[in-house]
Chain A
Amino acid sequence: MAESDRMVQLLSADGVLQTEGPAAEYLPYIERLGDDELRQFHRDMVVVRRFDIEAANLQRQGQLGLWVPSMGQEAAQVGSARAARDHDHIFPAYREHAVALVRGVDLLGIIQLLRGTTHGGWNPAASKNFHLYTLVIASQTLHATGYAMGIALDGLHATGNPDTDEAVMVYFGDGSMSQGDLNEALVFAASYQTPQVFFLQNNHWAISVPVSVQSRIPLYRRAAGFGIPAVQVDGNDVLASFAVTARGLDEARGGEGPRFIEALTYRIGAHTSSDDPTKYRTDAELQSWVARDPITRFETWLRSRGEGDAFFSEVDEEAEDFAADIRARTYELGTPSTDKIFDHVYSEPHPVTAAQKSWLDGYEESMGSDA
């Protein structure tokens, strides 16, 4: 829906490099990429997709209460994530498993979140500032904006040194565009001219509600209403996703204010494992997007540049190993200690949690074994 004539695409669905039209000004960003970096794009996308399939299976096998598939959105996530600097801060929603992978998060953390052993899963400070998932729609956009305000207050953007200038990237979906918090975040970002990229993955569905219900116009055009420059990109094109994001981040960290990117992509899977998309969307639509698969087109393009079977087989094997490792380690996950209920409710000692934790300890001790 709402693909505009200004959509930036560098790689067609057939895997052919585009050089004319909106693509032209972004080619330099791609030309800077070396072969290893391009291979890494492919590796990232294949591994995370394989991970996604394994996790979905684990859920069906009863190992996870819920799975949130990222299938189909790999290019938007990998491309944008690879454009960010290590010192940038990234605020995801809850489907950005590929971004997590790129930022070095142990994806078992996502498994733990959905298995019910934690509400977190990783430490952002140890994961290249990839913040925890936020499950309330769009809440993270305000946190990201506040963080970016902090960067501005610290004077750590717009110094002209991209190696130290910081920026923030916040991810969200088409449903988020209707939430008050996102609109307030855009207001604050524009008002304070924060060093921030708003990255919208328009995967066309908010559970069962099509994006047409969220908006009557292409979503990227809303940003102009807030005074924020915006770009629409083919989110299934990893090269374009990378290029557009790289430019947006450069501009933001350079002091030009916030930027908005709409990546057009598609949620190949269900909203979550509890959802049944057959109830609200057609197979024809699904297939039309399968035909525009991000990994297929990129492989086509890499092959056209001379990449051979050996590379692709190696990546497949790596993906299989990755999935197997996730499966094995999932089975090893035990039950969290009941201390977790109490220990971090507050940063400072608190009489109520202390008393209740102590009570529970005594209560548990007074119980005989359940033999």
Chain B
Amino acid sequence: MSNREFSLPDVGEGLTEAEIVAWKVAEGETVTVNQVLVEIETAKSLVELPSPFAGVVTHLLVGEGVMVDVGTPIIRVADAAAPAGNGSPAHEVADAAEGAAPATDALAGSAVTEEPAIDSGADTIADTAASIAADDDKPGAVLVGYGLKGHVASRRNRQAAAGAPTARPARPSSVPAASASTIIAKPPIRKLAKDLGVDLSVVQATGLAGEITRDDVVREASQASLFRNIETPSWAADREERIPVKGVRKAIASTMVASAFAAPHVSLFVDVDATRTMEFVKRLKNSSDFAGIKVSPLLIMAKAMIWAVRRNPTANAQWTDDEIIVKHYVNFGIAAATPRGLIVPNIKEAQDLTLIDLARAIEQLTITARDGKTQPAAMTGGTITITNIGVFGMDTGTPILNSDEVAIVALGTIKQKPWVVDGEVRPRFVTTLGASFDHRVVDGDVASRFLADVASIIEEPALLLD
């Protein structure tokens, strides 16, 4: 014996509810298909609802005078024909077609899940109908009663199926391969470039789709505005310009002289395949942990140098005439070219910082320096320094040691060059690491090992997983 429910249908093209006015049958009563069950009142009119089922009324689910939404079950009828052992699901009650939950399902309307006994006449046809009625279940096609209520708005479960369009395609399909324009930049970026006076054709694009990003433009602009001549002015009218030596310029000069001519500088260079560092940087940029934090190869270089210091402690030292002080902490200096001149603020205790904290510290240091707000305390006590001349567009150079330090590394441009991988020439991101050392403290072997260590991290950042 199975129970079936009849839910309130939308009888008037868009009705959302109706009031039960009068039941025409009682619980326990036997009903036939099409027998009038109930009178309802809709917004439009008084309507009689005929029974979709034949059977015995087990429950009147809604009382007279009650207003219910379309899709609400209003009556339960037990199957009268009950063909024995027909294997029909025992409980269609809670299991109306297509998994509808009453009143909240989008498929509002009567939930007829089984072939009702074809019993439209009141007389002897009942038996005939029972034999006519198919024993197999026909899932009640649900329906067209379409209440407007009962549509629970919910987002369908979108899978990122292989091959299905994902949120960020590798290449926008709208950009055909044979595009005549090789510069891919969104309109806001084009405007930014124009405002900053940046020529998009020389900007290195780092966007996922090969597009030039805002960072790319700003980077180029920073270089352009600070370190690259944008235009060729006409010759000055004066024959000479005399700039007094004072302030920052005087300080820089004296520091340079002291460093350059006191410490015997030796420079080493190594070319490195930095592809994995570039990939690592990209992945960090995409990770939610690093959202909103500036990540660049400089960060990896900092970590590499700190790691190399652990392995080559004497590169992180200070010469005094009496003793060489090898420091077991790293106050990591970053040379910063500001419009007012060169400064080298350092990040204190950099060896204790996590990658993410180091990234934040570098960003903070850079912003502060750019804003001209670096405090004097930040510029003293450094133990090792990096100078980023890649932003200048330079491949490498011979940096001058910072005061009281014995090693300085120059990070140049990282760009695609032919490289041999597994016997084949392939484009890889290649950079030249340059470093200068104080030969009073650091001999060639230590210098080489130190720089080799730095290079090995750049080549394989996973080695940092110590």
- The reply, when asked whether chain A contacts chain B directly with Cβ atoms under 8 A, is yes
A residues near B (Cβ < 8 Å) are 53-54, 57, 59-66, 115-116, 273-276, 278-279, 320, 323-324, 327-328, 330-334, 362, 365-371
Q: A63-B52, A65-B144, A331-B141 known; 18 other A-B pairs, CB under 8 Å? A: A57-B34, A57-B50, A59-B11, A60-B11, A60-B48, A60-B50, A62-B109, A64-B144, A274-B11, A274-B12, A278-B45, A327-B118, A328-B115, A333-B141, A362-B164, A362-B165, A365-B161, A366-B164
- In the complex, the chain B residue whose C-beta lies closest to that of A330 is B141
B115 adjacent to A61 (CB under 8 Å): no
The residues of A that contact B52 with a CB separation of less than 8 Å are: 61-63
Given A370-B156, A370-B157: A62 touches B143 (CB 8 Å cut-off): yes
- Contact indicator per residue, chain B 161-185, by CB within 8 Å of chain A (1) or not (0): 1001100000000000000000000
B112 to A61, Cβ gap below 8 A? Answer: yes
Quick one: CB contact mask for B97-118 with A, threshold 8 Å, 1 for yes?
0000000000001101001101
* Chain B residues near A63 (CB-CB < 8 A): 52, 110, 112, 141, 143-144
Please state if A328 and B118 are interface contacts (CB–CB under 8 Å). Answer: yes
Contact A62 B9 (CB under 8 A): yes
Does residue B197 face the partner (Cβ distance < 8 Å to A)?
A: no
Interface centre among B12, B34, B47, B144 (most CB of A within 10 A): B144
What chain B residues lie within 8 Å of A369 (beta carbons)? 157
A66's closest neighbor in chain B, by CB? B13
B47 and A60 within 8 A (CB): yes
Tell whether, in the assembled complex, residue A274 and residue B13 are in contact, meaning their CB atoms are under 8 Å apart.
yes
CA distance A23 to B114 in the complex (A): 53
Partner of B157, one of A66, A273, A320, A367: A367
**Contacts between the two chains (Cβ within 8 Å), count:** 108
Q: Pick from B48, B141, B165 the residue with the most CB of A within 10 Å.
A: B141
Q: Are B161 and A366 in contact (CB under 8 A)?
A: yes
Residue B373 lies at the interface, judged by CB distance under 8 Å to chain A: no
Contact A320 B121 (CB under 8 A): yes
A60 contacts B159, C-beta separation under 8 Å: no
Chain B: interface size category: 35 or more
Given the complex of chains A and B, what is the CA–CA distance between A365 and B156 in angstroms?
12
Shortest distance between the CB of B338 and any CB in chain A (Å): 51
Q: For chain B residues 107-152, which have a beta carbon within 8 Å of chain A?
A: 109-110, 112, 115-116, 118, 120-121, 125, 129, 132, 134, 138, 140-141, 143-146
B34: chain A residues at CB < 8 Å are: 53-54, 57
Nearest chain A residue, comparing its CB with the CB of B114: A331
**Which residue of A is nearest B154, CB measured?**
A370
The residue from A61, A276, A279, A366 contacting B50, defined by CB atoms under 8 A apart: A61
Q: Is the CB of A365 within 8 A of B50?
A: no
Contacting A367 at CB < 8 Å: which of B7, B118, B156? B156
**A to B CB contacts below 8 Å, 8 in the list:** A60-B49, A61-B110, A62-B9, A62-B52, A62-B143, A327-B120, A328-B115, A366-B160
Q: Which of A61, A62, A276, A320 contacts B120 (CB 8 A)?
A: A320
Looking at the assembled complex, report how far the CB atom of B362 sits from the nearest CB atom of chain A, in whole angstroms.
Answer: 40
Interface membership of B44, Cβ < 8 A: yes
B158 at the interface (CB under 8 A from A): yes
> CB-CB < 8 A to A57: which residues of B?
33-34, 50
Closest residue on chain A to residue B40 by CB atoms? A60
CB of B46 closer than 8 Å to a CB of A: yes
Q: Are A334 and B50 in contact (CB under 8 A)?
A: no
Expressed in whole angstroms, the minimum distance between the Cβ of A2 and any Cβ of chain B is: 28
Complex alpha-carbon distance, A59 and B143, angstroms: 10
Q: Which residues of B contact A53 (CB under 8 A)?
A: 34
Q: Which residues of A contact B132 (CB under 8 A)?
A: 324
**Residue among A116, A323, A324, A328 facing the most chain B CB atoms (10 A cut-off):** A324
- Cβ-closest chain B residue relative to A316: B121
In the complex, whether B220 has a CB less than 8 A from a CB of chain A is no
Q: Which of B6, B13, B50, B110 has the most CB of A within 10 A?
A: B50
- Taking a contact as CB atoms under 8 Å apart, the answer to whether B159 and A367 are in contact is yes
Q: Is the CB of B141 within 8 A of A368?
A: no
Q: Are A366 and B158 in contact (CB under 8 A)?
A: yes
On chain B, the residues within 8 Å of A60 by CB distance are 9, 11, 47-50
Tell whether, in the assembled complex, residue B145 and residue A62 are in contact, meaning their CB atoms are under 8 Å apart: yes
Instruction: Kindly state the separation between the CA atoms of A296 and B52 in the bound complex, as whole angstroms.
Output: 28
Question: In the complex, which residues of chain A have a beta carbon less than 8 angstroms from the beta carbon of B405?
Answer: none
Q: Are A366 and B165 in contact (CB under 8 A)?
A: yes
On chain B, the residues within 8 Å of A368 by CB distance are: 156-159
Contacts of A366 in B (CB 8 A): 158-161, 164-165
Interchain nearest-CB distance for B20 vs A (Å): 14
User: Which one of A62, A116, A331, A362 contacts B7 once the chains associate, using CB atoms below 8 Å?
Assistant: A62
**Chain A residues whose C-beta falls within 8 Å of the C-beta of B120 in the assembled complex:** 54, 320, 323-324, 327
B10 CB within 8 Å of chain A? yes
Nearest-neighbor residue (CB-CB) of A327 within chain B: B118
Assess the B144–A116 pair: CB atoms within 8 A. Answer: yes
Known: A60-B11, A62-B7, A366-B159. A334 touches B141 (CB 8 A): yes
Least distance between A315 CB and chain B CB atoms (Å): 14
- Are A332 and B138 in contact (CB-based, < 8 A)? yes
Tell me the bound Cα distance from A336 to B164 in angstroms.
24
CA distance A278 to B145 in the complex (A): 23
B134 to chain A: which residues have CB within 8 Å?
328
Q: Check if B140 sits within 8 Å of A331, measured CB to CB.
A: yes
Nearest Cβ in chain A — how far from B41, in angstroms?
A: 10
- Please, which residues of chain B bring their CB within 8 A of the CB of A323? 120
Determine the distance from Cα of A57 to Cα of B54 in the docked complex, in whole angstroms. Answer: 14
Identify which of B13, B51, B120 gathers the most chain A CB atoms within 10 Å of its CB.
Answer: B120
CA of A157 to CA of B102 in the docked complex: distance in angstroms?
A: 60
Query: With a CB–CB cut-off of 8 A, which chain B residues contact A370?
Result: 156-157
B48, B115, B138, B144: which contacts A62 (Cβ < 8 A)?
A: B144
Residue-by-residue, is B369-408 near A (CB-CB < 8 Å gives 1, otherwise 0)?
A: 0000000000000000000000000000000000000000
Determine the chain A residues whose CB is within 8 A of the CB of B156 once the complex forms: 367-368, 370
Q: State in angstroms the CA–CA spacing of A370 and B145 once bound together.
A: 21
Q: Which residues of A contact B165 (CB under 8 A)?
A: 362, 366
Residue of A whose beta carbon sits closest to that of B98: A370
Which single member of A116, A274, A324, A334 contacts B44 (CB below 8 Å)?
Answer: A274
Residues of A close to B129: CB separation below 8 A: 324
**Interchain CA distance A276-B46 in the complex, whole Å:** 8
Q: Return chain A residues, CB-CB under 8 Å to B110.
A: 61-63
List the B side residues contacting A320 at CB < 8 Å.
120-121, 125
Minimal beta-carbon separation of A165 from chain B (angstroms): 43
CB-nearest residue of chain B to A335? B141
**From residue A265, how far is it (CB to closest CB) to chain B in Å?**
23
The answer on a CB contact under 8 Å between B13 and A65 is yes
Please report the C-alpha to C-alpha distance between residue A66 and residue B11 in the assembled complex, in whole angstroms. Answer: 8
Kindly state the separation between the CA atoms of A273 and B159 in the bound complex, as whole angstroms: 42
